[in-house]
Amino acid sequence: MDGLHANEVQDWNTFMKIKIFYIDDERTNTLLFFRQFEKKFDVSVFNNYEDFCAGLVNETPDVFVLDLMMPDVSGFELTSYIRSTHRLKFIPIMILTAMEKNENLEKCFKNGADDFMRKPAKYPELEVRLESLAMQGKFREEHITNRKIDSMQLMINGFNHEFNNHLTILHSGVEVLELSLTEQKQLKKTQMLLKTITRASHLLKDISKLYNSEKKIISSQGILKIIESFQAHMTTDLEFGEVSIEFNLNSEDHRVEMSGSNVQVVLKAFISNAIDAYYNMGDDRKKQIKVELSSSDSFVIIKVMDRGRGIPQADLSKVFDPFFTTKGALGGEMIAGRRSGTGLGLSLAEVLVSNAGGVIKFLSTVGRGTDVILAIPIAKYGSSFEDAKGSFKLLKKDRSNLQIKVIDSNETGALLLKHYLFLQSYKTEINLQLESSLEGDHYDVLLLKNSFDWSELSLVLRKIREEKGRDFPIFLLGSEEELGAHLDFLIEHNIAVLIFEDNLHKISEAISSISIYYNIS
C-alpha cells in the first residue's frame, strides 16, 4: 500500500530482526554501533533524549542500550523512567558505558538494568549479549501471557456454567413476558432486552473459546482455498459500509499448522478492526483495506493494512488483553448502528495463533494507519507433531520410584539425560546399545534418542510394543527434520515424540504426563 506509513513492512526477515534502540550523546559511538549491527539487527540510534522519546512514539524496541553519562538525562534516570512506563517496563536494558563497573554496577541493577558492559565494547561478545537479552524479553512476555491465560481459565471455569444458566432462565422469562404484552412500546423494550441477553450469551461463548486451548491442527485445505472461502462469506459476517477491500494473494497453496476455520476467525478479527479504524475520521481519505498473502521458507505471511486512525504505541502493548478496546468501554462504541466489538477478537486471535506456533506483529502510526502481520507455520508433514504425544498408563502406587532406561549411542548425551533425570528424583539406567531396550522388565519408562539407523530402530519399537503393550511409555527424542518423515509410524504405534533441542524441561513434563493408577485389589 503505497504511502501507508513509514513503518510499512518490506520484508518478513527484516521485520523479524531484533529491534534495538541505542542512545549515546557521542555520535561516533552510535555511528560505530549502527555500522557494526545494522545487518544483524534492526537498529535505531539516538544522540539526545528528545529524539529518543520521539522514536518511541511510533516504535517499541526489543532491547534498550543506554549510555550512562549524557547531558540531558542520565542512563540511571532513563532506566528508572523505562521501568516506570507500562508498555516498556519488561523490555531488557543493556548499559554500555565508559564508566567504571565497580562504582556503577549496583546502582544500574537497582534501577532495573539487565546487563552492563564497558566501552570500548568487544562486538562479538556484545552481539551475543544482545541476542540473549532479546530472548529473555521474549520469555518474560510469554510467561506473562501464559499467566494471564491460566488465571482467566480458572476464573472462567468458576462462573461460566452459573452465568449461562441465569442467562437462559432470564431469556426464557422475557420471552414469556413478551407473549403477554400488546403495546408496541413495551414490545420494543423487551426486544432490546432479548438482544442484550443474547449479546451476553455470545460474550460468554467467546470467552470460553478464548481460554479452551486447542492442540495444533494441520489445515485440510491450502491457504489460498481458506482465504478464497473467507472472501465468499465475508460480506455476510462483516459490515464494510463505505470501506473497500482488496486481496493480493501471492503465495503457493500451502497447508498450514492451523485449522482453516481458525485462520478465518483470526482474519475476521483483523479486518473487523481495520474497518472500525475508519470510523469518524473526519477527512476525505480513501477508505480501503488491503490484504496481502505471501510466504517464506517456513511461514505463510498475511498482512492486513488500513490507513485509518492508527493505534498509539501506549495501546499496542494492550491490544491482546481481554476486553481491551480503543473504541470505548466494554462492548465498544456504536459504529453504524452496531457495537464495534467486545475487546475479545484480538485476544482470541493471539491464543489461536500462539497455539499454532505462529506470530502476530503490529505496526501503527496514529493518524496514518496500521499494519497487522500474521505468520503461520507451513505444515511440513502430513501429520502433526501434536498427534504424536502418546498416551500412556502405568500400574504404580506413585511416580516417586519410576525406573527410567535411557538409550543413546552417544555416551555424552546419555550421561546428560541421566544426570538431569537424577536431579528430578528418577532412577535412571543408561545403555549405548539399541538391543538393550529389549532386555529385562525392570524399567517403567523408555527414553530413546534417535541416534540409530531408522530401519533397526523401527523394528525394535515394534517388538517393544508387542511385548510390553500399547500403554507402556516410550519417548523418542530427536529433531523435527529427523522424525517428521516417520510421524505416521510413531502415531500408529503410540510412540511419544519429543523434539529435543537441549530443552530438558520437556522431558520432565512428558514423564509427568504419564497416567499412574494403583490397583488396590
Average pLDDT for 431-439: 83
Q: What is the pLDDT of residues 33-76, one digit of tens each?
A: 999 999 999 999 999 999 999 999 888 899 999 999 999 899 99
Identify the pLDDT of residue 341: 53
Please tell me the CATH code under which domain 223-377 is placed: 3.30.565.10
- pLDDT at residue 413 is higher than 80: yes
What percentage of the chain exceeds 90 in pLDDT? 39
The helix (run of H) or strand (run of E) holding residue 105 is helix 101-111
> Of 479 and 67, which is predicted with more confidence?
67
How far is residue 177 from each of residues 163, 168, 180, 187, 188, measured CA to CA in Å?
A: 21, 14, 5, 9, 12
Identify the pLDDT of residue 3: 32
> What's the topology of domain 12-121?
Rossmann fold (3.40.50)
Identify the pLDDT of residue 38: 92
Average pLDDT for 8-18: 60
DSSP annotation string for 274-334? HHHTTTT--S----EEEEEEEE-SSEEEEEEEE-SS---HHHHTTTTSTT--SSSSTT--E
Identify the pLDDT of residue 116: 94
pLDDT band at 518 (very low <50, low <70, confident <90, very high): low
Average pLDDT for 354-363: 87
Which region among 165-169, 183-187, 333-337, 393-397 has the lowest average model confidence (pLDDT)? 333-337
What percentage of the chain exceeds 70 in pLDDT? 86
Q: Which CATH superfamily is domain 385-517 in?
A: Response regulator (3.40.50.2300)
Set of cell numbers at residue 202 = 455470545
Identify the pLDDT of residue 204: 72
Q: What is the pLDDT of residues 242-261, one digit of tens each?
A: 899 999 998 889 989 888 88
> Of 128 and 391, which is predicted with more confidence?
128
Residues 6+ apart with CB under 8 A from 485: 381
Number of neighbours of residue 161 by Cβ within 10 angstroms: 11
- pLDDT at residue 12 is higher than 90: no
Q: What is the pLDDT of residues 270-293, one digit of tens each?
A: 999 999 899 877 788 899 999 999
Identify the pLDDT of residue 206: 64
- pLDDT at residue 191 is higher than 80: yes
Radius of gyration of the chain measured on its C-alpha atoms: 28
Number of neighbours of residue 364 by Cβ within 10 angstroms: 25
